[in-house]
Amino acid sequence: MTSTQASTQDRRTFAIIAHPDAGKTTLTEKLLLFGGAIHTAGEVKARGQNRRARSDWMKIEQQRGISVTSSVMTFETQGLTFNLLDTPGHEDFSEDTYRTLTAVDSAVMVLDAARGIEAQTLKLFEVCRLRNVPIITFINKVDRDGRDGFSLLDEVADQLQLDVCPMSWPIGMGADFEAIYDLDRNRLTQPIRGEDAIVTQCTGTDDPQLDALLTPAGVKLFREEVELAQGGYSTWDAERYRAGDLTPVYFGSALREFGISELIDALARFAPGPRVQPATPQPVSPEDPNVTGFIFKVQANMNPMHRDRIAFMRLCSGRFRRGMKLNQVGTGKSIAVHSPILFFAHEREVVDDAFPGDIIGIPNHGTLRVGDTLTDGPPVSITGLPNFAPEILRRVVLKDPTKTKQLRKALDDMAEEGVTQVFHPNIGSQWIVGVVGQLQLDVLISRLEAEYRVDAALEPSPWDTARWIASDDPAIMKAFADTHRSTTATDRDGAAVFMAKSGWDLNYAVERNPGIRFTATKERE
Ligand code: GDP
């Protein structure tokens, strides 16, 4: 596929953040449908199921009804290219999700109108806030009885400390739902069962057309509510939205397809194109002619017949062309990218070129790792892709000792994909795996068996938590390592790690060793 591009700003690379069940899957499907990427609703899930059925370990996904893997879907409309990055919704996979959120320029936050902000919404929002990712709010399921609009807006404002600006307003909710009014463009959208919705351009909320189109009770309540809503909340300010200080709020129903085009329009009109990426020695601007990108995810076995791995690269600057040679910053290895893959809904195709904001999949055999920067210019490293300190540490026990080599390979592979972290204790020969959530352990055991034919078990380890350790003074590091041989390890990259039996233990070590930095996240250099 070849595309041309007039500016570096015609990409909208975004993610949907939501608590499970708020409607992320349904909304994704409808965005692809309205964006022209798929032609019948239901296709996303149907294809997903096909794909899942091919791999054993993915059965976990099916059983638990969650999505473990994240992928990217592209659609083109209004002269723009939208790249929607799927984030796994399950709380156990926060690490993966966090990394995916480093690759987007904006996010859509989906709330269930009856539930408002839920635990996972909050967590994901906090990651967005850390990076000032601008957020459009979509209050879903207005076709069902939910909470009133004001209480939802107040909750967003109070809990997220974010200014809210209602951009649309529902006329009725649940059984009384009649229409959605676009406050920004004064358009009334009335759904007609089984047909396209009727859109009426109005002159304002006092337009007499509304009296003819809506029920008397509906229109009366609508006018009262809108007056309050417009008086009580922030006015629209695109700059404040882009700075992450204000969220425009849209109401709709993903299932019944209300408010979807308004949401796409909002992304097209307001969401930022590729942003400047934090990097050393200096930030990378999308206008920079050199091709620069970073790997935010590595996924194995997208085709279980071959042990292929796809490294997902977010392009930050320059025009990427197929066959191009890029340097892996750090190792200095040159990588020729002969078959970059672009994802189109759930199809994949080889791309000839890609632009800032695009995500391309690079097939490779383990060379590329999460956090790597690739460039054809002077060395530069995109920063801010964290590894998180594990909250669960387990000892890996091999049932068949002749499989040591396979186990090492498997653990190495999965550490590289970010499924688990692997630590080699300085004393003893057993590996310790660390994860941030229980589900990652289930995936690990199931994949060891299915893909590597390694029968292993996970046993409790004496450790409760781990921290990366560093010091500016090598003598201090050495002294610490010497006195803590039984509680130190190295991670896959050879970085030093301190393992603690409890939070108390950790605090004690931190207090006693002021010359050592203990960190809960590790950024790739
Ligand atoms: P996810 O877990 O966030 O991906 O949520 P899903 O998209 O799978 O939706 C969860 C449930 O809510 C499903 O049963 C959907 O059919 C339902 N749902 C999604 N959107 C709407 C909506 O707008 N209205 C109603 N009534 N149900 C919805």
- Determine the distance separating the centroid of ligand 1 and the alpha carbon of 141, expressed in angstroms: 8
CA quadruple 475, 478, 484, 488: dihedral sign: positive
Distance 347 CA to ligand 1 centre (A): 24
C-alpha distances in angstroms, 221 versus 114, 139, 149, 225, 323? 20, 19, 12, 6, 60
Helices (H) and strands (E) in the chain, counts: 14, 33
The answer, yes or no, to whether residue 56 has pLDDT greater than 70, is: no
Task: Give the residue-averaged pLDDT of 280-299.
Answer: 92
pTM of the model: 0.78
Q: Is 115 in the pocket of ligand 1 (CB under 6 A)?
A: no
Q: Which of 440, 445, 443, 432 has the alpha carbon at shortest distance from 492?
A: 432
Choose between 111 and 45: higher pLDDT.
Answer: 111
In the reported structure, the alpha carbon of residue 123 is separated from the centroid of ligand 1 by a whole-number distance in angstroms of 20
Residue with tokens 């960190």: 519
Q: Average model confidence (pLDDT) for the chain? A: 84
Domains recognised in the chain with CATH numbers: 16-71+105-269 (3.40.50.300), 279-382 (3.40.50.300), 387-522 (3.30.70.3280)
Residue ranges of the binding site for GTP: 86-90, 140-143
Q: Is residue 4 helix, strand or coil? A: coil
To the nearest whole percent, how much of the chain has pLDDT over 70? 85
- Identify the band that residue 368 occupies on the pLDDT scale cut at 50, 70 and 90: confident
For residue 121 and ligand 1, the question of a CB distance below 6 A is answered with no
- What's the mean pLDDT in 391-408? 88
| Ligand 1 closest atom vs CA 110 | 3
SS (H, E, C) 387-451: EECCCEEEEEEECCHHHHHHHHHHHHHHHHHCCCEEEEECCCCCCEEEECCHHHHHHHHHHHHHH
Residue 7, pLDDT above cutoff 90:
no
3-state secondary structure 216-265: HHHHHHHHHHHHHHHHHCCCCCHHHHHCCCEEEEEECECCCCECHHHHHH
Q: Can you tell me the mean pLDDT for 269-288? A: 94
Numbered residues of the known binding site: 86-90, 140-143
Asked if 299 contacts 69 with a C-beta cutoff of 8 angstroms, the reply is yes
Q: Does 165 score more than 60 pLDDT?
A: yes
Residue type, 45: K
Specify burial of residue 83 (Cβ count, 10 A radius: 0-12, 13-18, 19+): buried
Ligand 1 centroid to Cα of residue 63, in Å, is 18
Residue 380 has pLDDT above 50, yes or no: yes
- Please name which of 166, 103, 115 lies closest in space to residue 140, comparing C-alpha atoms: 115
Query: Is any atom of ligand 1 closer than 6 Å to the C-beta of 118?
Result: no
**Tokens linked to 427:** 């004393």
User: How far apart, in whole angstroms, are the C-alpha atoms of residue 265 and residue 260?
Assistant: 9
Report which residue type is found at 14: F
Q: How far apart are CA 305 and CA 301, in angstroms?
A: 8
